[in-house]
């Protein structure tokens, strides 16, 4: 079986420190399996992309990594800490940005940031430094007194990023962060991600439906029907194809055919 051999391959490809380890993860969510037998190792300081069709289980995998859903079977560790058993600690070293804008529209940019700093019990001297750093980083300084609800789509996402960065997490988990954002803002957003990887050795796990963004990841995981199909660097994935899009479509149709064949044989 192709799936089985892939699983082994994912582990073999490991080089560098494993930062996030997903072991035999299956999640049953509302009566259906939203993730099936997922094994995965994500290294420190890499941008790890997750691509796949809608409903493939990308969000479920990310939410499980962010400690929001407990695994039905299997487990996830981040820096050797279990997402269920050491949930509170894991939460303190990760920053998670959900798919939908999840900040307070009636609070200003600054007040939203302050809430995050309050929750992480940040000391007084550090607050000012971090606030200014990330306001500058996201270019949101001119809008610091604007209500978050009045920001444009791109600015909202930047604010979301600024908020989850304030407590200096070691890992960022981003669920389609640039969905519905204009191309220029998307480019800026990705420049920020690459800078964080290069300068702070940040580990970034990002789900995306834009394949030009997939191209910018160090490695890509391809998900389909709640299963992990393949994990590889974008260059390797698209070998023999015109571009990444074609390569991925080819793999997805192949899996569908195999699935159809399996069902038929049974």
We find the least distance from the C-beta atom of residue 62 to other proteins, in angstroms, to be 10
29 binds other proteins (CB under 8 A): no
Query: Which window, 9-17, 95-103, 199-207, 220-228, contacts other proteins (CB under 8 A)?
Result: 95-103
Q: Are 234 and 212 in contact (CB under 8 A)?
A: no
Among positions 3, 39, 107, 233, the unique one binding other proteins when judged by CB under 8 A: 107
We find the least distance from the C-beta atom of residue 29 to other proteins, in angstroms, to be 12
CA dist 250 and 5 (Å) reads 18
CA dist 254 and 71 (Å) reads 28
Give whole-number Cα distances, 171 to 21, 101, 205, in Å: 13, 19, 8
92 binds other proteins (CB under 8 A): yes
Q: Are 39 and 196 in contact (CB under 8 A)?
A: no
Among positions 67, 83, 157, 203, the unique one binding other proteins when judged by CB under 8 A: 67
Query: Which window, 12-20, 47-55, 85-93, 207-215, contacts other proteins (CB under 8 A)?
Result: 85-93
105 binds other proteins (CB under 8 A): yes
- Residue 109's CB is within 10 A of a number of other CB atoms, namely 27
Q: 84, exposed or middle or buried, with CB in 10 Å at 0-12, 13-18, 19+?
A: middle
We find the least distance from the C-beta atom of residue 179 to other proteins, in angstroms, to be 13
Contact footprint for other proteins (CB under 8 A): 66-69, 88, 91-92, 94, 96, 98, 100-107, 111, 114-116, 118-121
């Amino acid at each position: 079986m192709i799936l089985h051999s892939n699983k082994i391959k994912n582990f073999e490809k490991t080089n560098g420190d494993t930062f996030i380890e997903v072991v035999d993860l299956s999640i049953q969510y509302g009566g259906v399996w939203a993730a099936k037998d997922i094994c995965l190792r994500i290294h420190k300081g890499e941008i790890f992309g997750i691509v796949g069709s809608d409903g493939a289980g990308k969000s479920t995998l990310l939410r499980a990594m962010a400690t929001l859903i407990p695994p039905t079977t299997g487990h996830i560790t981040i820096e050797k800490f279990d997402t269920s058993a050491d949930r509170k600690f894991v939460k303190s070293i990760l920053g998670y940005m959900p798919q939908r804008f999840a900040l307070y529209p009636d609070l200003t940019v600054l007040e939203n940031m302050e809430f995050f700093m309050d929750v992480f019990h940040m000391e007084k001297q550090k607050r000012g430094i971090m606030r200014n750093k990330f306001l500058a980083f996201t270019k949101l300084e001119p809008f610091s007194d604007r209500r978050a609800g009045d920001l444009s789509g791109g600015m909202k996402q930047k604010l979301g990023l600024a908020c989850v960065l304030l407590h200096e997490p070691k890992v960022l988990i981003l669920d389609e962060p640039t969905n519905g954002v204009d191309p220029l803002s998307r480019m800026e957003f990705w420049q920020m991600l690459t800078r964080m990887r290069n300068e702070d050795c940040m580990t970034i796990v990002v789900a995306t439906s834009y394949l030009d963004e997939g191209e910018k990841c160090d490695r890509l995981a391809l998900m389909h029907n709640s299963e992990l199909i393949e994990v590889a660097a974008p260059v390797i994935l698209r070998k023999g194809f015109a571009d990444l899009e074609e390569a991925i479509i080819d793999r997805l149709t192949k899996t569908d055919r195999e699935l159809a064949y399996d069902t038929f044989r049974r």
